[in-house]
Structure 1
Amino acid sequence: MSEPEKQKMAPINEIYNRIIWDERLNRSAFIAYYTERISGGIREKPLAQWSTDGDIPMHRIRYIRCGDITVWDREKHIDLISTGQLPPVAWKSNATQTEIDIEAPIFNIRPVYKYDTQEWKNNDLSQNIKTNTLTVATFNILFNLYETEKIQTEKRLPAIFQQLRQCEADIIAIQEATPQFVESLLSQNWTHHYFISESNIGDTVKPYGNLLLSRFPFTLVEHKFFGAKHVLVGTWQINDKLLHLAVVHLTSSRAENAVEKRAQQLSVLLAYLQNQSGDSLIVGDFNMRGNEQEEILTNAGFTDVWHKLHPYEAGYTFDPDRNSLAALLSLSGKPGRLDRILLRGNYIPQSIDLFACTPINATKGLYPSDHFGVRAVFHFSPNLTTVSPIYQSAIVIIPPDDVLPAIQEIRQKYDARFERWMPHITLIYGFLPESYFEQAVKIISPELSKLEPFTITLTEYGTFTHRKNCTAWLRPVVEQTRHVASLHELQTVLQNLFPQCDEQSKKSGTGFTPHLSVGQFPNLEAVYSTLPQWRPISFTVNSVALISRQGDKAFEIKHIIPLGGKNELQKIINQLQPELTQTQQIQRQTIIDIIKQACAECLGTTPTIHLLGSARLGVQTPQSDIDIVCVIPSYIVGEAFLHNVQQHLQELCESSQVVLDARVPVLRLKIETISIDLLYARYESTASAIEHRIDAASLKAIIGCWEADLITDTVSKYVSFDLFKTLLRAVRAWAKSRCIYGNAWGFLGGFSWVILAAWSCTYYNQASQSVELLFAHFFQILNQHDWKQPISLTEAGRQYEVQLPRDWLPIITSIEPCQNTARNITRSTSQILRSEIQRGAELTNADKINWSSLFEPVNLQQEYNTFLEITLTNSNPQELEKHCGMLEGCIVGLIIQLEQLDIFVRPNTKLDKIKNGACLTLFLHLSPNYDIKTIEQLALDFISQRNRVSSTLNITIITSTNRNPVSHSHTNQLK
């Protein structure tokens, strides 16, 4: 391995002293990353908290970062501190990201306690936790210093303990805890499994205060505002990254200048958190209603989790209308969402709900507290591009076993790294810590599936010259001309996925140089005089390996990721349903931003927009439309809003049309050849219940968001969501290949296929998860289904009452009012769909599945002897497009009319373009001697009655006997 030229740099003790003692520097902004002695992994710690005489020696510090910038790195020989190239955030004079003009507040270290056999003891254990989800709960439990007889704390305590235990939360934040409450709480057996911020004496919660309980060990600091008002901040290391959780109980509105005091308290907390690396949560009783302090929190990067997941639900945690204790203690009688959970970072909120919402005794109506609790579940999804690389891992190509002997014979004699490294061609080094490998595999696999295996030849020796010696290596050369860039392409793909792991692409100023090292020598002359003659050896590169090592041990293979050629199904999916390229993603995001800006200009405020359909589920293809819902206030007329946005975008659009007679009013746009549907949802900001806040039309627009999110949550319980997305791409590719995709044609639309794919996952119970197994399971489970029973993901949907002929294939939405998404299915198309599912089940039940056969395009002209052609012609492209839409809208009705004549109808699922027109074909199964004229006239009458258009309508029926077509045509011009 070639080494970069080393430059002089200051030692770590000098760097430490400079940062700590230089009064101009903001020492809180520097984070030290050090090697953990036992595991060899990299840990992080604020440099200001580093102890020079502590248990961790300073020589274990590997690098130091300030914000997102590495300012000192032992391995890479980076030293921006000595060279005076520190980023602006390193200096005290730099403006903070929250624009809070406040000095760094003092947060004092507090002990953490854990139950040990007989008592609660101080426990300062620090531990890295591995978990995929994190559950957080917060609850103001109502202290008992006032109104003691009325609030009946002794009766409430058992219910409070029960509610906290049933939360099954990893972290519990409690407000208004008293010493008596703490003593009772810690006597509960279930709390013995938790770490807690308070001893059983409860000295620091007099007369009342905040508590933190956690299943995971944590460190703790506290800042006191005044009197009993204080904030606790716990810090955990979860999945190799810090999490800070602050418990607040901000000043009540009963106090003077309460709004100003709350703003000051938040400013102090945010000033502290902004200097901490990692993710942050703020939870507790904010005593705020509405959007108070929204600007300061948004500027600091925090998101209100309830508002994010339930934007149309009030979520009142203090509700005098429901809670008798709240009614007793409320001055105004107004409800409010006083208790909140705020997030800044890479955790993904999965769910948030209220608890302790029912009375202890239904007859007396006593509640556990005057507040309801809040519980949120987060999914950990780190941004791997922000994870710092280490030099205990790499991505490499490993030659096959039959090639190794010749290479190893040389390496064993001349390579000092023979024991540590297997023979390899380095692609990425350093790479991510091993703890991130599983996430990395999910990111890498889809990209490598797009690349074909290729053959390389180790042709000759090459050398890297260093100051004191040189390295000899074998040169890998790609044989086939069409794959000439394959090694570089492979390395570039990986480099783009992990841009921070760029050492190989920056080496020696020449970029990536593929090589397989075989030894180190004092000089070039020794290389060529010592090494034996090399005979070229070829092998196929069909995979890459993720390797890592622990301590001084040798590298081990942890994951093998194949290139695309070995995975036939994935290759077909990528070909038929390609994912968006990075350029296409940027283009679509730009269009979304343009539309959001236009909406903002029309509304006079930054709007909330939601993606629908494939974009929301992450399965867009280059041909996908973009469906957007914009949330608008109830006092704005929706149709006027759409027209206003249309005017704002007029110059940017290739075409635009406001459609008011659709199921949901919509603005249809085309920008840069991409079709966009913009819908609106009106809400009432003052009502207390969702049914009063959103009208029927808006509900139809926004409910698709809720359905998609429910599908995401449901599927994730059974298979990984990335695997589900691949399954959905496979289902769509298959359905389109077999011409059974499209609601307008009497088949299943996109959302119906999504429900079917998700439903099949809920019955998948195999330990091994692959798209091949999941796709085969999709056909098997659907082929066994009794279609007299509805398919749905929820109990409400399963209660749908099936009625024929309306519900040939009942595929039901999840959220009430539940509806059949497959309402356009007819007698003919239901038989076709069942037949195709049966065909899929038979093909995927084989020992060796021929995936190409499964996706074989259907040849309708060979299968049917009669077909009905309907053509529209018009020299005006806009008129033609409009009339084609009208024609599509009445096809299902025509199919039903033909079926009433005992004709089996097989629609083609597209309009074929012809000169100045379009052609639609319906394939028919007719009994012998059927009167063709009857069919022609029926089709002509049906279409012309429903479409008063100025295009030329042409009805043609073609029959084929022994492959000799005979045409019977009738033409009618609707001028």
Structure 2
Amino acid sequence: MSNDYDKSGENEATQEYKTYGVTPPISVNPPTEKELKYTETLIETLKKFGLFESEEDARKREIVLGKLNTIVKDFVKYVSLKHHLPESVANEAGGKIFTFGSYRLGVHGAGADIDTLCVTPKHIQREDFFEDMYEALKKRPEVTNLTPVTDAYVPVMKFYFSGIPIDLLFAQLQLSSIPDDLDLSNNELLKGIDDRCIRSVNGSRVTDEILRLVPDIPAFRSALRCIKLWAKRRAIYSNVMGFLGGVAWAMLVARVCQLYPRAAASAIVSKFFLIMYQWKWPQPVLLKPIEDGPLQVRVWNPKLYPSDKAHRMPVITPAYPSMCATHNVTMSTQTIMTQEFKRATDIVEYIMVGVKQWPELFAKHDFFQKYRYYLQVIASSNTEERQRKWSGLVESRLRQLVMKLELVENLVLAHPFIDGFSRSTVCLNDEEGLNAAHGIFPKREKEFTEEEKQKLIENNEGRIVYTTIFYIGLQIEPRAAGQTAPRKLDISWPTSEFTKLVKSWDKYDENSMGIVVQYIKSTNLPDEVFEEGEHPKTKVKKRSKSSRVC
């Protein structure tokens, strides 16, 4: 889409009255010289953070996507033959890869993942995808860290292909074959497919619709790069943990672009934080009116569906059927994001008058210095492949623990950290294995080499325990004035319910998987959560006690 406001002056009179979105623009004024100058310094700052990939990296991504498209076609043909379809039909069944998210929006940076969608004809089932496509990818030498997440709201296969992180979704359409020129914008394609397929297809449809609905794509892209970097640096970029994912941040930025259709990126960023801080949630953010359609599919409607009414920060996708992209937001994560909007509003206000610089906006989060007490959620297992699946399942359920913690007396906030910390540990006896599953790792003068590890395992002299540790910061109600008695924080019910929930997974194996939820004081946080130059509070030797060990 071209920039409407790069056209000659003769069109300005008509352009300034064009409405993008559900309300007229707040301002159609062109950018000032100062805003253009601050936009230049913003772009320079983003480049220093490595947000623009090289031409070589761009070509590598195109090659990977080409290979992946071929693998999809081979997978569709293989399953077609497996289902006893004639070879002539199998050869014509097709299959195609679509991209969406940051890559499709043109705001991906070096090392960013590529959101992809595998579209197949009607005789290919989701089970085929997670079994046969999984096996096909597993055999490829370029593929590493292959992790299927089958129970997620949008089932996904995560992996690295030639070092590039890929999220691969699946959608089965009610077509006998998938042509290379398939256009997903056709609403009729949604007929007869299940909710999970609709959610998967809508990733691509939403991305294309966002690009159609913003007045100035270059300004939108620059502003979105800024907001994505800020959200990642402040540790609030994660849909699964109850914050916002990439598509939600993109829609919020797009909405501000609609309100200021001629603004430079720096002004859009400035307006973004103020508008989001003052937004009257749960009033939804919409890029266009919600469409009705002829299909028997659910469209977001808080008047009709109680679950939609419960959404705390609804940001609604523009492609039919409209859905809420922020259904995971909890009371705690909304509070944290609101605090971050306020912080950013204050900083950018100073930036725009020359008192502060852009890097100050992107200062790293202080999550591991912020709280006195934390919860460690430790998922453990005995093989690397099993651990990827198990830790993925535990991560996808952590939001349920956060919501249960929010009900605990004297607990103001349960703040989940957006990343887990994974490691493998050589354990020489059962005690070391049990300790590793509780986040206590043996300290050795010298780490084992890969050859030494293999020898220990072959001789039954040791085993490897794989762990992923997630953290939740606990903000406790301060003592009332004059109160001296100790306060109790009983989290036994939330932790017990959470462990029951994850153990109810149909692939859970108590002999090879473990789950532990325990308190830890800030003074006992492990070194791995801190970067060089950062330091925790003074450590004490005493370990924290488990509040719940399962």
**Shared fold (TM-score greater than 0.5)?**
yes
Answer yes or no: is the 8 Å Cα contact 1:683–1:695 preserved in 2. Answer: no
- Paired with 1:644 and 1:942, the residues of 2 have a C-alpha distance of 34
Q: CA deviation at 1:867?
A: 1.6
Alpha-carbon contact 1:734-1:854 (below 8 Å) kept: yes
TM-score normalized by structure 1? 0.39
Distance in 2 separating the partners of 1:880 and 1:682: 29
Partner of 2:359: 852
Other structure's SS at 2:545 match: strand
Tell me the equivalent position of 1:968. Answer: 544
Distance 1:683 1:953 in 2: 38
Q: Is the 8 A contact 1:665 1:679 kept in 2?
A: yes
Q: 1:713 aligns with which of 187, 196, 212?
A: 212
User: C-alpha displacement at 1:676, in angstroms?
Assistant: 2.4
Equivalence for 2:161: 671
1:834 matched residue in structure 2: 338
The reply to whether residue 590 of structure 1 matches residue 71 of structure 2 is no
2 CA distance for matches of 1:575 and 1:625? 20
Larger radius of gyration: 1
1:951–1:973 Cα contact (<8 Å) kept: no
Q: Contact (CA 8 Å) 1:790, 1:800: kept in 2 or not? A: no
Work out whether 1:955 is the aligned partner of 2:517: yes
Query: Are 1:737 and 2:287 matched, yes or no?
Result: no
Q: How does 1:308-347 map to 2 (within 5 A)?
A: none
Q: Please, which runs of 5 or more residues in structure 2 have no aligned partner?
A: 5-35, 78-90, 177-185, 292-298, 426-466, 480-485, 524-536
Matched residues in 1 for 2:152 and 2:473: separation? Answer: 28
Q: Distance in 1 between matches of 2:290 and 2:59?
A: 39
Evaluate the alpha carbon distance shift between residue 960 and residue 737 of structure 1 in structure 2; reply closer, same or farther with a 3 A threshold: closer
Question: What is the match of residue 140 of structure 2?
Answer: 651
Q: Secondary structure at the match of 2:349?
A: coil
Tell me whether 1:896 sits opposite 2:382 in the alignment. Answer: no
Alignment correspondent of 1:909: 418
Shift of the 132–627 alpha-carbon distance from structure 1 to 2, 3 Å rule, reads: closer
- Pairing of 1:261-280 with structure 2 (within 5 A): none
CA contact (8 A) 1:869 1:955 kept: yes
User: In structure 1, what is the Cα distance between the partners aligned to 2:131 and 2:158?
Assistant: 11
Residues 954, 971 of structure 1: 8 Å contact kept? no
- The 5 A counterparts of 1:175-194 are none
Q: 2:115 is paired with a residue of what secondary structure?
A: strand
Matches within 5 A, 1:430-449: none
Aligned to 1:10: none
Q: Could you say which residue in structure 1 is the equivalent of 2:436?
A: none
Is the contact made by 1:610 and 1:629 (CA closer than 8 Å) also made in structure 2? yes
Aligned-residue offset at 1:607: 3.7
2-side partners of 1:693 and 1:578: how far apart? Answer: 40
3-state SS in 2 of match to 1:795: coil
Q: Provide the residue aligned with 2:251 in structure 1.
A: 755
CA apart distance, 1:945: 0.8
After superposition, residues 338-377 of structure 1 pair within 5 angstroms as: none
Deviation at 1:899, TM superposition (A): 0.8
2:302 corresponds to 1:801:
yes
Q: Could you say if the C-alpha distance between residues 661 and 850 of structure 1 is closer, same or farther in structure 2, counting changes exceeding 3 Å? A: same
**Deviation of the 1:565 alpha carbon:** 12
- Structure 2 CA distance for aligned equivalents of residues 630 and 799 of structure 1: 25
Equivalent position SS for 2:500: helix
- Pairwise CA distance, 1:714: 0.5
Paired position in structure 2 for 1:787: 281
Shift in Å, 1:611: 0.8
- Structure 1 segment 389-408 matched on structure 2, within 5 A: none
Q: Percent identity?
A: 24
Quote the residue 1:115 is aligned against: none
Work out whether 1:728 is the aligned partner of 2:237.
no
> Following TM superposition, by how much is the alpha carbon of 1:791 offset from its aligned partner in structure 2, in angstroms?
0.4
CA offsets 1:50-95 (integer angstroms, 9 cap, x no match): xxxxxxxxxxxxxxxxxxxxxxxxxxxxxxxxxxxxxxxxxxxxxx
CA offset at residue 684 of structure 1?
Answer: 3.5
1:809, CA displacement in angstroms?
0.9
Shift of 1:712: 0.2
Letter of the aligned partner of 1:754 in structure 2?
A
8 A Cα contact 1:741 1:750, kept in partner: yes
**Per residue, is there more helix in 1 or in 2?**
2
Structure 1 residue 901 displacement after superposition: 1.0
Aligned to 1:629: 117
Q: For each residue in 1:615-654, what CA deviation from the matched residue of structure 2 results, as whole angstroms up to 9, or x when unmatched?
A: 2112222332223223322234343255444444423323
Give the conservation status (yes or no) of the 8 Å contact 2:420–2:469: yes
Conserved? CA contact 1:639–1:660, under 8 Å? no
Instruction: Name structure 1 gaps, 5 residues minimum.
Output: 1-130, 134-561
8 A contact 2:237–2:245 mirrored in 1: yes
Looking at structure 2, the residues matched to 726 and 712 of structure 1 have their Cα atoms a distance apart, in angstroms, of 13
Letter matched to residue 419 of structure 2: K
1:101-180 maps to which residues of 2 (within 5 A)?
A: none
Larger relative contact order, structure 1 or 2 (CA cutoff 8 Å, min sep 6): 2
Q: Does 1:825 align with 2:329?
A: yes
1:640 pairs, out of 128, 131, 136, with 128
* Cα offset, 1:931, TM superposition: 2.4
With over 3 angstroms needed to count, the CA separation of the structure-2 counterparts of 1:732 and 1:931, relative to structure 1, is same
Structure-2 change in CA distance of 1:691 and 1:873 (3 Å): closer
The CA deviation at 1:572 is: 3.0
**1:931 to 1:724, Cα distance in 2 relative to 1, 3 A:** same
Q: Would the alpha carbon gap of residues 868 and 633 (structure 1) be closer, same or farther in structure 2, given more than 3 Å must change? A: closer
The aligned counterpart of 2:488 is 931
Q: Which of 674, 679, 683 is residue 173 of structure 2 equivalent to?
A: 683
